[in-house]
Structure 1
């Protein structure tokens, strides 16, 4: 009887708490389901892309691998990077002449192959991929294109886990060229800003000038707002070089290396 007397006044509060948590649980379930569906669709796309390229390209010929990717993209819109984006990426790479490149998100190895073919003989690529299947199949395509393990490394982990380990992959004698000359972000847009901040924290961006390239062909503008606001709020370090429908090109330079207050 006393329990009823005590609980009745608390009933509205109990109902409110119950509703609040039910809404939060429902939201979490919805997000988990959306993530799972995205992963399943992504894996289907990765398997399909890999099977097509692997079976139809000329092994050991990088141009054949890329042409086969482009052929697949003509009829399969699930490919996350298109020939148009690839050509824009090529233009940046030719202009920057990077020797050390970081790629976050590799989708079948398409952009990895495009990057590797334009690097100097001593250049190297580190690519980070969360999904083990995507990492495995992407690495196989890189090898099919004719590249060797000495030219690249695939890290299968989250970007948050991988970034703190990256200093161990940098050569100790790089001197003023320490850090990545080019960073390609083609993963979860919500990770763009945290990962950029982590790269800054670990001093992984080349102080002599680093182009951070963001690929977001199918992303909503609001998903990119945080990182672009961060970039625009720091004109001392960052400068947006170009903004296309599918790519934003950003130049990074430490304040100590700037000349006459210009980037």
Structure 2
């Protein structure tokens, strides 16, 4: 009863506040619902993709794993980049010949397998995935493709939390502090610029050359405007190497180590 007595005089203010902020509240609710739906749909897609690839591919054969991914994508909704963009990614990897690669966003292991099969014998891939289910199933696919834990490491973490820890993971295994030769960003485009800035701050990009590949899938190229502005503002160490549908390659190199590529 006392609560009603106190709240009645406040009703006009409550009504005014709710009216003023109802659009913002509705927008927040809509975004939260959209995020939840994407999470559920993504997990369903990952489970379904994993089950198909695991049961249909030839175990121990990386090319068979990739072909099975593509076969699944022919008849099902899929988060995989597909053979066309995959071949463009292969061209970059062959040209760069990275010994240390970082993948942000796993998507059931498709790009992880593509990258690993082109790394040198002593090469290493670190892949970062926020969702534990996607990370676990993706790691199993990598192992099914015939790769060993000595060749890769899966971090279940946000990119923002993972990047500051990478130096300690790279140096003991590689015996060098040169950093990463290849970075593939295929997670949340809103994180692309903050993560690139973090990689710069931690000095994880190899000063003699590092290719940073931006995937944007269903997003518009405009969604990458912030990171592209940053790249164009730092022409002393960045350039846009190539642009394809759904993929942009950026090349990083310190000016005092610049050589022809």
List per-residue Cα deviations over 1:197-256 (Å, max 9, x = no partner).
Answer: 111111110001100001112112232111111111111111001111111011001233
List per-residue Cα deviations over 1:64-113 (Å, max 9, x = no partner).
Answer: 11111111122223233111111000000000000000000010100000
Summarize the alignment of residues 146-161 of structure 1 with structure 2, pairs less than 5 Å apart. Answer: 146-161=146-161
Structure 1 length-normalised TM: 0.90
Return the alpha-carbon distance in structure 1 between the equivalents of residues 193 and 150 of structure 2.
30
The residue that corresponds to 2:31 in the other structure is: 31
Q: 21-30 or 65-74: which moved more?
A: 21-30
> Structure 2: where are the runs of 5+ without partners?
1-8
1:205 aligns with 2:194: no
List per-residue Cα deviations over 1:33-88 (Å, max 9, x = no partner).
Answer: 10000011111110111010000001111111111111112222323311111100
The residue that corresponds to 1:41 in the other structure is: 41
State how many pairs are aligned: 253
Return the alpha-carbon distance in structure 2 between the equivalents of residues 198 and 41 of structure 1.
30
The residue that corresponds to 1:100 in the other structure is: 100
1:174 aligns with 2:176: yes
Summarize the alignment of residues 1-263 of structure 1 with structure 2, pairs less than 5 Å apart. Answer: 16-171=16-171, 173-175=175-177, 178-258=178-258
CA-based RMSD: 2.1
Return the alpha-carbon distance in structure 2 between the equivalents of residues 164 and 216 of structure 1.
24
List per-residue Cα deviations over 1:132-156 (Å, max 9, x = no partner).
Answer: 0000000000000010001000000
Return the alpha-carbon distance in structure 2 between the equivalents of residues 197 and 79 of structure 1.
26
> Structure 1: where are the runs of 5+ without partners?
1-6
Return the alpha-carbon distance in structure 2 between the equivalents of residues 237 and 192 of structure 1.
17
Q: Any idea what SS the aligned residue of 1:193 has?
A: helix
**How far has the Cα of 1:22 moved from its partner?**
2.5
Mapped contact 1:209–1:251 kept (Cα < 8 A): yes
